[in-house]
Structure 1
Amino acid sequence: MGLTDVRRLEDVVAELRARDYRYGGGACSEDIEARLPAAVELLSGTMREPVMVRLCAAVADMYNFAGWTNFDEDHPAAAQAAFARALELAVEGGNDGLRANIHYRTGRLRLHYGAVDAALAEFALGQEAALLAHSELAQAILSANQAWACAKKADVTAAVTHLRHARTEFAAAEGIEPEPWAAFFGATDLAAMIGTVHAELAQVVDVRYGRAGIPALTDAIAGYGPDMARSRSLTVIWLATVHALDGDLDVAAEVGREAVEVVAALRSPRSRQRLRTL
């Protein structure tokens, strides 16, 4: 057992993760589940310590990805089980950056199903791990999602504060090669999160916040190519929602039709669920 074997696992996850972004979790969930048993079996082999550490991270990220695809397919119990196993392996391998990412994804699972306080607890644990990992990008991801959770609680001050932190941390991370599980979070995703937080505040506090978020949502939609179709679909849904809340029903209907078309091409029940609010 050597690094070549570990790299194969890492390449598999990278390939499936790209497919997930483009087509949704349903396009790759069976593949990752089928590959997990053989990957887990590798952990019982004999190898040098550096190889074992990297293997733990690779298998942990496979479970992390399996949790995410289950989440996207609306299988919350299976997603939670996969995230729990991923966290165990990340802790065993001493990988704080990956641990931060797993807490982020677990928090997103909680947030989607309305458990906002539980989501905030996960995001806080993720922030602790991100600080230990000295990863500004991981901190930015967690801060942006803490902002969203606070927006859901109608806590404007906390939401705006966390967004400010996310911008600062993201700027500090520029020029640093991201870990594969965090590489999705570029300038476009940050813009999408800024727009998301404002759109959430528009729903629960005042529609004026939605107007302020329209430029960020528009920038994010322009930045998402076909390789990030699911992220684009979720952002288009928010833009249509904001226009509807603001009374721009013609624009909302036009953008909403686009959202339906994009979502229809995805194998992502989560995206379809997000259409309900619209």
Structure 2
Amino acid sequence: MRSALARRDVGQIFMLLNRRHGMTQRRIAELAGFAASEVYEITRGRQVMAYDVLVRIAEGLGIPRALMGLGYGEGAAQERHVEPLPLDGPEEQKQFVAALAGFAVGGSPDVDAWLPRLGERPASVPEVVNPEAIATVREITQRHRELDATYGGGSCRDSALGYLAWARCLTRSRCRTPDLAAALCAELADLHNLVGWMSHDLGEHLEARRHLAQGLVYAQKAGDSTLMADAYYRLGRVSIHQGNPAEALHLFQLGQIVATNSNCLTSVAILHANIAWAHARMGNAPAMRDSLARAHHEIGRADTTDAPQWTRFFCEPGDLEGMSGVVHSALARHSQYREQHAALALGHASRALKRRTETSRSGALDHVTMALGYALLGEQDKVVPHAQAVLDAARQVRSRRLLDRLSDVADVIEPPRDKQLAELVTTIRARVAA
């Protein structure tokens, strides 16, 4: 929140109040002096820049004006940071992706203007970084990774972000050897990638892109191609979620370049599976089948016991099945492939569900694939139990991405043909809008 206030990012402030603290958009509007429709527009990207309006917001919401740089008072951020470049428009995103592409071919593009501003304060850090300090960063990152996988990004993103602000201060300490310096950069890359993924899971895609770009920078400094592939993979996932499969394909292919150079077969398999998803979204069936087959081939010959930590989710028995279901259901959205590939999606998702916990985010996403497959086949009576399973899981899995994917199911089954389906669509819409 302090970071959003310092940037005067009113949309982010409103989203944090709404999603993290349960304040309704109507209540925010009453306090800040807006119409409810204006609050919605602001959370969707409308800019608020007028000084008097910012003052009204601060006073209405009880925010110390100094935290927004609006004049007097104690508590202003101790460090001032130049605002990062915007990433809202298509041209800005195109420039951002073009700059990131340089890392894949061994360049060192200047991307500092897009990187996240964490508002670091002076912290008590060791004078010298030792292996134990680096191991601690690794352990805390892994614990957050496990929480995110089970309960969603909303369960631990703030905790990871707070730790990241401190861990980055270790770069001010001295590393006795180049290997230790590289190891520190690798752990910071992994943590930035994870925070970026959690931000994406919460629907905060702009912040996700910034953290993933920072992860890419640290990964290159560490000389770690697998972590560079991780950053490209997750950047592509942000693009595909935002409805830009062509951009996603470009990012996945960049990730594939560095993954191949790393000789890490698990990361190669992950990138092939996601390239298949991008092709499926664009209706390119032959390329989709080829990429998905290559993903199965590469994971089949990978030594999963030695896989990098970030790739190990894909070594689980159900994950490639679940991903295959997502890919086939994406192709099934194109009418000429609907019947065959919706049925294939159901088969893969069903097998995935048998191999993992339904209450985890992955299990809930498998239920989304099942519901979507049945909706595409017109078997709407079979949609309800799977959609209800997702709604039940969403009570403990804090993932905006999960609800957005469930919203796709509601889009397919509208108009519902009976009362139960109508109630389901209404419930989904209400949960998505909450």
Q: TM bucket by the smaller chain?
A: over 0.9
Q: Which residue of 1 aligns with 2:306?
A: 177
- The one-letter amino acid paired with 1:241 is L
Which residue matches 1:246? Answer: 377
**Within-5 A mapping of 1:161-240:** 161-186=290-315, 187-204=317-334, 205-225=337-357, 229-240=360-371
State the Cα distance separating 1:132 from its structure 2 match: 1.0
1:22 aligns with 2:155: no
* Counterpart position of 2:235: 106
- Larger relative contact order (C-alpha < 8 A, sep ≥ 6)? 1
CA contact (8 A) 2:345 2:369 kept: no
| AA at the equivalent of 1:94 | G
TM-score (norm 2): 0.62
Deviations 1:216-236 (A, max 9, x none): 11111111226x711111111
Q: Is the 8 A contact 1:217 1:239 kept in 2?
A: yes
Does the alignment pair 1:147 with 2:283? no
In structure 2, the partner of 1:5 is 133
Measure the CA separation in 2 of the matches of 1:82 and 1:68: 9
Name the larger-Rg structure.
2
Query: Which deviates more, 214-223 or 94-103?
Result: 214-223
Post-superposition shift, 1:160?
0.3
Higher helix share: 1
Structure 1 unaligned runs (5+)? none
d(CA) in 2 for partners of 1:114, 1:44: 40
Cα separation, 2, equivalents of 1:12 and 1:207: 45
Deviation at 1:247, TM superposition (A): 2.0
- Cα shift at 1:134: 0.3
Residue deviations 1:230-262, cap 9 Å, x none? 111111111111012112222111222112211
Q: Give the residue type in structure 2 aligned to 1:192.
A: G
**Could you tell me which residue of structure 2 aligns to residue 134 of structure 1?**
263
Cα deviation for residue 176 of structure 1 reads: 3.9
Q: Tell me, yes or no, if the aligned pair for 2:356 and 2:363 is still in contact at 8 Å.
A: yes
Residues 70 and 79 in structure 1, CA contact (< 8 A), matched pair in contact too: yes
| 2:165 paired residue number | 37
Instruction: Between 99-108 and 212-221, report the one with greater CA deviation.
Output: 212-221
Of 41-50 and 64-73, more deviation after overlay is shown by 41-50
**1:115 and 2:247 correspond:** no
Equivalent pairs: percent with the same residue? 28
Q: Which runs of 5+ in 2 are unaligned?
A: 1-128, 410-434
Partner secondary structure for residue 223 of structure 1: coil
Counterpart-to-counterpart distance in 2, 1:39 and 1:4: 13
The letter of the residue matching 1:35 is: Y
Q: State the one-letter code of the partner of 1:142.
A: L
Letter in 1 for 2:222: G
3-state SS of 2:172 partner: coil
8 Å Cα contact 1:123-1:146 kept in structure 2: yes
- TM superposition shift of 1:144: 0.2
The worse-fitting range, judged by mean Cα deviation, of 262-271 and 149-158 is 262-271
Q: CA deviation at 1:137?
A: 0.5
Shift of 1:175: 4.3
Q: Which residue number corresponds to residue 258 of structure 1?
A: 389
**Cα deviation 1:143-187 (Å, max 9, x = unaligned):** 000001100000000000000100110011144421111111123
Segments of 4+ moved more than 6 angstroms: none
